[in-house]
Amino acid sequence: MQTSCELCNTPGGDLIWQDAFCRVVLIKDEDYPGFCRVILNQHVKEMTDLTPKERDHLMTVVFAVEQAVRDVMQPDKINLASLGNMTPHLHWHVIPRFTLDRNFPNPIWGNSTREMPPHPIDEATALTLKTAIQKRLG
């Protein structure tokens, strides 16, 4: 564990599910409701630092989260990203995208293409999403 790593020292969001290898968190982002992250529990920087079995497990979790987000949020598109430039701790972003979100069709980290009022995920939808992810992951 690296003491200066945000994802080693914090859950990285609202914890939804975890096993000994990784965890799923819901990000509180009013512009991208339903935004989740799948975060490796140990401090590893790259996918190729994992064994093939570990990679398979991590991607199984990512794909389960993607499907649950699609089922609950009904987005126009899903963005999957594993960047780690700012936080070099292996994690995947699962981002539901809507054609009217503030950055569509550009990445969420770019300049906004339109002004949109925030639209946070409501408690009922957040609970439905959490339940759907937990159900898919057992």
* pLDDT tens digits in sequence order for the chain, 138 residues long: 456 899 999 999 999 999 999 999 999 999 999 999 999 999 999 999 999 999 999 999 999 999 999 999 999 999 999 998 889 999 999 999 999 999 999 999 888 888 888 889 999 999 999 999 999 999
Half-sphere exposure of 87 (CA within 13 A, CB side): 19
In a domain, 33, yes or no: yes
- What pLDDT does residue 111 have? 84
The CATH number given to whatever domain includes residue 95 is 3.30.428.10
In a domain, 78, yes or no: yes
What token pair was written down for 66? Answer: 């993607």
In a domain, 112, yes or no: yes
- What pLDDT does residue 134 have? 97
List residues bridging with 79 in a β-sheet: 95
Give which of 15, 82, 98, 99 is closest to 24, Cα–Cα: 15
Euclidean distance between the first and the last CA atom of the chain, given in angstroms as a whole number: 27
In a domain, 1, yes or no: no
In a domain, 89, yes or no: yes
Cα separation, 58 vs 22, in Å, equals 7
Give which of 45, 25, 38, 27 is closest to 87, Cα–Cα: 45
- The reported pTM is 0.93
Q: Which domain holds residue 14?
A: 6-137
Query: Looking at the 3D structure of the chain, how many domains does it have?
Result: 1
- What pLDDT does residue 58 have? 98
- What pLDDT does residue 2 have? 55
3-state secondary structure at position 128: helix
In a domain, 103, yes or no: yes
